[in-house]
Amino acid sequence: MGIDRVFPQKRLIERKKRFDESSTSEEVSFTPEENFRVNISSLEMRFEQFKEYDKVFGFLFPHNLRGITDKDLKSYCHRLEKSLKFEERSDIDAEELYTELKLFEKLETNEFSKPIDVLKFLKELDYFPNASIAYRILLTIPVTVASAEMSFSKVKFVKSYLCSTMTQERLREYTL
């Protein structure tokens, strides 16, 4: 593409050592090019995971559900049932989900643009149990991914807060 591979060197930030760290423990520092490779590979892995998510759950999005053929809808329902199967038990029944989605399509559903709107409508009706379960799982999976990543990034802040608020009495208990 004619773009130079110039990776700017970031300023190294020295951090304070904690009382429980040895002087030999060093942080891993990457060159800018290595850092770029690591970040790109993690993005590629995440992108592949979301493509797999789209293969299994993508048909449930309202804009995809409108123009789908009956044959494709049935195969998507069976694929979803297969992916949710554990020890020969599944959270949904593919045939029932197919029937529910066909009935749901007959209702006036053109105003729905997001899966959360569909789920709220299904909860109000309380008539489509398999579709309701499928939409709850669809909406839960991305949240679980994000919350796990966020919790790992917050551990450092919690740890530093706990260390900085430790009283002398608690410090003496650790040294004994």
- pLDDT, residue 159, reads 62
Judge whether 128 lies within some domain.
Answer: yes
81 pLDDT more than 70:
yes
Judge whether 34 lies within some domain.
Answer: no
pLDDT in tens, 111-135: 788 899 999 998 888 889 999 999 9
Nearest to 91 by CA among 49, 57, 46: 57
Overall average pLDDT of the 31-43 stretch:
73
Judge whether 99 lies within some domain.
Answer: yes
46 pLDDT more than 90:
no
18 pLDDT more than 50:
yes
* Residue 90, strand partner residues: 85
- pLDDT, residue 64, reads 87
Number of Cβ atoms within 10 Å of the Cβ of 132: 19
Overall average pLDDT of the 7-34 stretch:
64
153 pLDDT more than 70:
no
Cα 144 → chain centroid? 5
- Greater model confidence, 42 or 72: 72
Judge whether 6 lies within some domain.
Answer: no
Judge whether 59 lies within some domain.
Answer: yes
Residue 57: which domain range?
Answer: 39-175
Q: What is the dihedral of CA 11, 15, 21, 24, to 10 degrees?
A: 30
- pLDDT, residue 106, reads 81
**What's the domain count of the chain?**
1
Q: What percent of the chain has pLDDT over 90?
A: 27
Report DSSP state, residue 58.
G
158 pLDDT more than 80:
no
